[in-house]
Amino acid sequence: MKNKGNGIVIYHQKRRSPNKVFLAFLGILVFIAIYVPFFGSNLQYQTGTTFKYIFNNIGNLCLMLGSAGFIINILKIFLKKISIGGFITSVLLLWIGAFLTGTSFILWGFLMGGDRPPIGYH
């Protein structure tokens, strides 16, 4: 930026670098054009297996935390320190864990979880 003395300021704009979003989009298109026709079904199987493993572990963690919280809240009833929020949190964790792992159980007459039929072409 230069000041000419009589109130005129000249601003020299820097050269723009290429748009990185466009380059990333172009890279994805090249990957799809070269890799997917030859190895697409294998890639679909690998990513599906990886995500199933990740969500199954998250579901197991939710089941463990929900079970522990539910047992602790049942014991708190005997100490007369009832926590409704703790019950709701533990039941929600149990429900999320049952949904992610496919485990089914009945809690207070409600069926939680269970295996779902696969979504897509049969």
- pLDDT for 117 equals 60
- pLDDT for 97 equals 87
Quickly list DSSP for the chain.
-EE-SSS-EE-PPPPPPPPHHHHHHHHHHHHHHHHHHHHHHHHHHHHHHHHHHHHHHHHHHHHHHHHHHHHHHHHHHHTT---HHHHHHHHHHHHHHHHHH--EEEETTEEEE-PPPPPS--
Mean pLDDT by 10 residues, the chain (122 residues): 61 68 87 78 76 89 92 88 87 86 72 62 57
Q: Which tens digit of pLDDT belongs to each residue from 40-75?
A: 677 777 777 888 888 889 989 999 999 999 899 989
- pLDDT for 114 equals 62
The residue ranges of every structural domain in the chain are 16-113
